[in-house]
Amino acid sequence: MDEPILSEDEWKKRLAPERFRVLREKGTEMPFSGELLSTEKEGVYSCAGCGNIIFSSEAKYDSGSGWPSFFDIIGEDRVEKHRDGSYGKDGMEITCARCRGHLGHLFDDATSPTGLRYCINSLSLEFHNKSDTNDNAIVSEPLTPTP
Q: Interface residues with Fe ion (CB under 5 A)?
A: 47, 49-50, 52, 96, 98-99, 101
Q: How far is the CB of 124 from Fe ion (least distance, A)?
A: 8
User: Residue 56, exposed/middle/buried by CB under 10 A (0-12, 13-18, 19+)?
Assistant: middle
Least Cα distance to 91 among 130, 119, 127 occurs for 119
Dihedral (Cα; 16, 22, 27, 31), 10-degree rounding: 90
Q: How far is the CB of 74 from Fe ion (least distance, A)?
A: 13
**Residue 50 appears among annotated catalytic residues:** no
CA–CA separation, 78 vs 58, rounded Å?
Answer: 17
Q: Which is nearer to Fe ion, 34 or 109 (CB)?
A: 34
Catalytic residue among 47, 50, 96, 119: 119
Q: Which is nearer to Fe ion, 9 or 40 (CB)?
A: 9
Q: Which is nearer to Fe ion, 60 or 100 (CB)?
A: 100
Q: How far is the CB of 30 from Fe ion (least distance, A)?
A: 22
Least Cα distance to 146 among 11, 1, 2, 3 occurs for 11
Q: Give the residue numbers marked as catalytic.
A: 119
